[in-house]
Structure 1
Amino acid sequence: MLFQIKSYLKFLWNSKNEHGVHSPFVFHLLTKCFYDKKPKPEYLILKNYRKSLLENKNFIEVTDFGAGSKVFKSNRRQISQIASTAGISPKRAELLFRVTQYFKPNNILEIGTSLGLATSALALGNTNAKVTTLEGCPETAKQAQLQLQKFDCNEVENVIGEFESFLVPENLRSKTYDLIYFDGNHSKKATLAYFELLLSTIHNDSVWIFDDIHWSQEMEEAWEIIKNHPKVTVTIDTFQWGFVFFRYEQEKEHFVIRT
């Protein structure tokens, strides 16, 4: 916790808003998407999706995975408790919806479904998109599937199993993703492994979002390595998330932005 407080104070010191940005691409993204305050009808769906989970008092067997996807803990947890402590916040869900609506990605990959709070934002952001979401825990994935169906998020493919079983070169070779949301394993080793594996799926307009880039010193180190990769041109650090772009026409720049 102390590490995150120090990181946040450093972030505030270095951060800017749209007035400190001279890149037209980033300025437009901030003003038309990040800072868009207009109400959206989809926000009510996201709110009701969350409310439905928070009111669900059923228990499920939750399996957590450690390094290398080895099981290290399995316990019974209430669905409402999982929804209140894990997954994306309401504000972030709305931002993820706006980002998806802004870029209009057709093929989306989410690493870490949990109960589908972020998945629903991705699916609602572009209802014509194909969303593939990965979840290691079978019971959690099952609840997410039921919840997504309940709220008519029908273009979602739920892949249940270890992330490493899906994220293999032979499986990714023929795939291209317009947007990838990384929220499955907050370790430096796993984050960088997924980053390297998925580089084969990028194109000029691909958008990657990494969750919890300031979660730990390891995650900050991973973020610095990602920023400096030769294929990465533009990054945006919003403290909670790190946005990565691969646009060849853009000068290499890194932005620290308050949202």
Structure 2
Amino acid sequence: MLPFRFAAEYLSYRLRSFKLHGVHSPFIFGLYHHVIQHDGTYFAYPRVEALRQKLLKDNRKLQVTDFGAGPKSGNKHERRVKDIARTAAKPAKYAKLLFRLVNHFQPATIFDLGTSLGITTSYMAEARHQAQFYTFEGCPAIAGVARENLQHLGLKHVQVIEGNLDETLQRQLQQVDKLDFAFFDGNHRYEPTMRYFNACLAKSHEYSVFVLDDLYWSAEMKQAWEEIKQHPQVLQTVDLFFIGLVFFRKSQPKEHFTLFY
């Protein structure tokens, strides 16, 4: 998205968003107060941030496989680890929020659609060592570095699923009974985002939590977010601009919240 369009989207978000006093749902009120706005620290924060700082200085060159759209799909190009760490990993503010969400809901089965170097993956995995945790990365070289990082942090319960997400996601979904938590960061186009969302929806339940990344990264992502909000199985959503939370709680009315974060 062009910078001025992104700035306009953010201004619109700020004008629409509100803080705790404007939330009337007890479930969302508690989530916003105790989880989203939590400003304390956890043991995992310095551990994973130390890993981030290490990767930001890593000059190794990787042959990166592109699984994006178009004629260049499948091509390889060279990138340094430090450049991937700088551009692909979620900023600490949002990675820590993902930690707190997993820590709060304690999901038994977690899908992370978009491993990259494993920084954000590590935050979520640190919050739930007892989970069945599957993280998906298309590029073999990047997946290899992610495995190193997960091993360094002792996160042995995380299984890195390597390969094109178009093929690996459905195969792995068939291996689980239900999906408790999913983070969608594997593709930022409308069609694959909706396809991955609907595939995971088949294994969701009333207490599942889905998190979508980069809601306003492009017109296609904005379109996907608006369509997801209107899906009949989606009952509550929270728009935090850079990420969106999706809930399926039948005990709560269908509502959409835009909260300041």
User: What are the Cα deviations for residues 177-230 of structure 1, in whole angstroms up to 9, with x where unaligned?
Assistant: 110000010000111111111111101100000000111111111111100000
Give the 4+ runs in structure 1 shifted more than 4 A. none
Aligned partners of 1:221 and 1:235: how far apart in 2? 15
**Matched residue of 1:167: which SS?**
helix
Alignment match, 2:205: 203
Matches within 5 A, 1:53-132: 53-67=55-69, 71-132=73-134
TM-score normalised by length of structure 2: 0.95
Deviates most, 171-180 or 110-119? 171-180
Task: Assess if the C-alpha contact under 8 Å between 1:172 and 1:198 holds in 2.
Answer: no
**Matched residue of 1:67: which SS?**
coil
Task: Assess if the C-alpha contact under 8 Å between 1:88 and 1:118 holds in 2.
Answer: yes
> Which residue of 193, 196, 202 maps to 2:195?
193
Aligned partners of 2:137 and 2:171: how far apart in 1? 19
> Which residue of 233, 236, 255 maps to 1:234?
236
Task: Assess if the C-alpha contact under 8 Å between 1:3 and 1:216 holds in 2.
Answer: no
Aligned partners of 1:128 and 1:72: how far apart in 2? 35
Alignment match, 2:47: 45
Aligned partners of 1:190 and 1:242: how far apart in 2? 17
Quick check: 1:150 aligned with 2:162?
A: no
Identity across aligned pairs (percent)? 38
Aligned partners of 1:228 and 1:33: how far apart in 2? 25
Aligned partners of 2:197 and 2:45: how far apart in 1? 30
Quick check: 1:9 aligned with 2:6?
A: no
**Matched residue of 1:45: which SS?**
helix
Matches within 5 A, 1:160-175: 160-168=162-170, 171-172=173-174, 174-175=176-177
Deviates most, 203-212 or 55-64? 55-64
Q: Which runs of 5+ in 1 are unaligned?
A: none
In the alignment of these two chains, the number of paired residues is 259
CA drift of 1:169 comes to 7.2
Aligned partners of 1:252 and 1:149: how far apart in 2? 41
